[in-house]
Chains A and B, each alone.
Chain A
């Protein structure tokens, strides 16, 4: 899956999660699978709010971690794709956009 500007991201509402140390632990109640996000993944997770796109999330990441914008965007898209594959996040159409 490739993140598109017209797509924003939200956490899968079925999940349970908790921050511990610098990580985020997520459990999927339906299959009892535990997932773990590292520091960067946790930062993104905290900022995934159902409104922000990959580009907006990458902007926050670049600002907080002082990395180049293009690197931040590449990392953000890779993380979102991974989280999407694991059904941790779901894409929703941003205002005026769709998922097609």
Chain B
């Protein structure tokens, strides 16, 4: 995290840099309280990056100069991105900041062969086990039944195709497990559609079954056709290339024994 670097009128302009899934960001803000909150929230992901995506947070000194390439409003907070800059306005707390960051990241990832997925990711023997499903499917349960320190995230996973290989990254976006996320990655061993059941069972899924499992759990907020075509291309590639399974499991650590090594 860099030190405060400027004083811009009403508040001291501060910035810090961090990266999520190797996507670099630089937040610029003058709100001391938000700065402190963001510093804590993204502590595990901070660090100097090259050519970060710059985000002006609640910066009233600059006016909108051109139509946005992408815009999204969420509970009073607004994201606007054009070819020159990105603005987050109306951000009152770290939760709103977190929401706009997820939205921006989901959009930026389409240019980097990646996407965000409602999924818990756990590392085992150096491989990423990605457990996907809607709220209540068992993501946090899986995380809580996994060894301490092995959970990258219990809520939102980041998947990217790099050098012909799918990798899962931790994110700072957590759920009920309340882990802070882990800024590491591992090659994907499998993506598992969670189904709670009386006994543990794993079944391989065909790509069409996998894309049915993935698409409802992908976080994406753009309604623009071109962006959605790119997203579908990436998610479809993941469905075809990453091993996909249905995991019927009961709430006990023994479910790990049913998983492929």
Which of A15, A25, A29, A32 has a CB less than 8 Å from the CB of B211?
A: A25
Q: From B75-83, B120-128, B233-241, give the one contacting chain A.
A: B233-241
Stretch binding the partner chain, chosen from A16-24, A56-64, A72-80, A85-93: A16-24
Chain B CB within 8 A of A1 CB: no
Determine the distance from Cα of A17 to Cα of B215 in the docked complex, in whole angstroms.
Answer: 12
B2–chain A nearest beta-carbon distance, Å: 37
Contacts of B232 in A (CB 8 A): 16-18, 25, 27
Bound Cα distance from A18 to B222, whole angstroms? 18
Return chain A residues, CB-CB under 8 Å to B239.
20
Give the number of chain B interface residues (Cβ < 8 Å).
21
- The reply on B224 being an interface residue by CB < 8 A is yes
Given the known interface contacts A16-B228, A30-B223, A34-B216, the answer about A21 and B233 at a Cβ–Cβ threshold of 8 Å is no
- Per-residue interface assignment for chain B, residues 192 to 217, with 1 indicating a CB less than 8 Å from any chain A CB and 0 otherwise: 00000000000000111001100110
Query: Is residue B231 contacting chain A, with contact meaning CB distance below 8 A?
Result: yes
Q: Is B225 an interface residue, CB under 8 A from the partner?
A: yes
Query: Which residues of A are at the interface with B, using a C-beta cutoff of 8 A?
Result: 13-18, 20-23, 25, 27, 29-30, 32, 34, 36
Closest 5 CB pairs of A and B: A16-B228, A16-B229, A29-B228, A21-B208, A18-B236
- 25 pairs, CB–CB < 8 Å, chain A vs chain B: A13-B225, A16-B225, A16-B228, A16-B229, A16-B231, A17-B229, A17-B232, A18-B232, A18-B233, A18-B236, A20-B211, A20-B236, A21-B206, A21-B207, A21-B208, A23-B208, A25-B208, A29-B222, A29-B224, A29-B225, A29-B227, A30-B223, A32-B220, A34-B212, A36-B208
Chain B: residues with CB nearer than 8 A to chain A? 206-208, 211-212, 215-216, 220, 222-225, 227-229, 231-233, 236, 239-240
